[in-house]
Amino acid sequence: MSLTREQLASIAALARLELTAGEAPVYQQSLSSILDFIGALEAVDTANVKPMAHPLPGLSQRLRADEVTETDHHELYQENAPQVAAGLYLVPKVIE
């Protein structure tokens, strides 16, 4: 199949990715060929096959007691933040 420019723009918007004018046609072409490639799965008979989400079937998600195990490290973690003030992460104004 071949993706239209509009379809690519909508995928990029969902993925929150800004694409440059130069990138768009390259992705339009390569994503189309990837979709063709994975399209091969369509022909496989998978009637009554349960989808496999975990490579070790039978193992269930482990639970732990609801106890406090972490201490406050926000100052350390915020050393990696692009912009902080008064212990808060700063972003452009969201609410007018």
Q: Which member of 6, 21, 46, 87 binds another protein (CB under 8 A)? A: 46
Q: Which member of 21, 54, 66, 67 binds another protein (CB under 8 A)? A: 54
Quick check: 96 binds another protein (CB under 8 A)?
Answer: no
**DSSP string covering the chain, please?**
----HHHHHHHHHHTT----TTHHHHHHHHHHHHHHHHGGGGGS--TTPPP--SSSTTPPPP-----------HHHHHTT-SSEETTEE--S----
Quick check: 88 binds another protein (CB under 8 A)?
Answer: no
Q: Which member of 6, 21, 83, 85 binds another protein (CB under 8 A)? A: 83
Quick check: 73 binds another protein (CB under 8 A)?
Answer: yes
Q: Which member of 49, 65, 68, 86 binds another protein (CB under 8 A)? A: 49
